[in-house]
A and B are shown apart, each in its own frame.
Chain A
């Protein structure tokens, strides 16, 4: 079964992860723009990061037969970097126009400051202008209140809820999100946040509609195979194949296809692994017959 990990920070992962992901059936990923562990200190650092998402990391994924898409945005943590935000916001229109950028994100709240709220609303407006859906990060501290505030910002801005993916949900936030028209993402981690068994319980209770699962694997302790592992856990728990296909393929594909930059038809044929690009320096993979004197 083809799998999609719609939230994974591949910049922080090794080629071992790419190989394992592909072997486990992951053929497409969305890598959201986020922070990188400590605050950036120059606008240019954001720009080079955006360029790496649409350039180097996309190429790196292709070496392993994985189609790489990304989101672009000013993340909630660094919305608080007052001296940089104007410069970063000025960059966004340019980078939101790139191919393969499938949403504005990750945006939303972290500490729930006024600055975060302002940049959240401004980026919803950018998403409207560029015809993109949005990926919303919910805070890991004070999550329920943060999720309620996020849903309120979406509502107050009049942004269409069907084009909003509220991520990192748990047992308390999922019903709040499902009560709106927004989509609900869940990040499955080894020790913290959501796990496979709790995810199975949530799907048993709420079904598969507008449910999305991801690994959010990043530079911390995380597992880039949580998507296939969670799919397997659901299968073993007797959740229907149709629901599993929806959660792990059709839901994320449909959601991000709303950008117009991701086509189901393209994804149905997974990217081939071009061995020549693996830099093995092995001439068996080159196979040319020399034309002497050309």
Chain B
């Protein structure tokens, strides 16, 4: 399955950016991963069929991928899984976002929970949202306490709950209680309660 996904992404790269692809293919995977940011511009432009294959493989929103992200995903899939934590830690924001967007595609996704939890701590909103929004990984792999903290942070930072994939599958009493408490805290401060909190608490804010 992984080989098919690699080939699917490669096909899109070849079609959308033949020069960039030629550069990427001839590079060692780590150099390719780093340099892809400047060599691929615009959206990934996956075909409907390619997008369907990616969704089946666990990518929640292939339509949101940029071409650079697709190139980085391809390089990541071709690199050794041991490289992933180091690539993440030494990555700039765009590199970290690319890794988080394709976590579900990597071999042994469960092995990256530590990295995911670390990413969720980031104050760089793009990094946080790359995992919290339109990404199947958290609902599939995060332990409940971490998932709950992620949802609360999404509420806190203005990331729409409607974009937290698998939220209804992972609803739990603790999360409902935390959100009800958050709503009460906002009311006590005379501040507006985010309306989409109803997705969790079930009632009007």
Contacts and interface: CB of A to CB of B under 8 A. Distances in A.
Given A47-B90, A290-B195, A55 B124 contact: yes
A103 to B, nearest CB: 15
B196 to A, nearest CB: 4
Interface in A236-294: 260-261, 276-277, 279-286, 288-294
A56 B160 contact: no
Interface string A105-142: 00000000000000000000000000000000000000
A148 interface: no
7 contacts: A47-B90, A55-B92, A282-B192, A283-B194, A284-B192, A285-B158, A286-B160
A58 interface: yes
Interface string B16-40: 0000000000000001001101100
A99 B38 contact: yes
Interface residues of B, number: 34
B195 A283 contact: yes
Contacts of B96: 55
Interface string A40-77: 00000001000100111011000000000000000000
Contacts of A58: 92-93
B192 A100 contact: no
Interface in B48-101: 89-94, 96
Interface of A: 47, 51, 54-56, 58-59, 94, 97-100, 260-261, 276-277, 279-286, 288-294
Nearest to B68: A99
Contact of A290 (B31, B34, B124, B198): B198
Interface of B: 31, 34-35, 37-38, 89-94, 96, 123-126, 156-158, 160-162, 167-168, 191-199, 202
Contacts of B125: 59, 276-277
Given A54-B92, A279-B157, A294 B162 contact: yes
Main secondary structure of the interface of A (DSSP, over half): loop
B34 A59 contact: no
A187 B39 CA distance: 34
B191 A99 contact: no
Contacts of B93: 54-55, 58-59
A100 B34 CA distance: 12
Most interface-central of A47, A51, A99 (chain B CB within 10 A): A99
A97 B196 contact: no
Nearest to B192: A283
Given A51-B89, A51-B90, A281-B156, 8 more contacts: A55-B92, A98-B34, A261-B38, A277-B125, A285-B158, A286-B158, A288-B196, A290-B195
B67 to A, nearest CB: 14
A276 B124 contact: no
B196 A281 contact: no
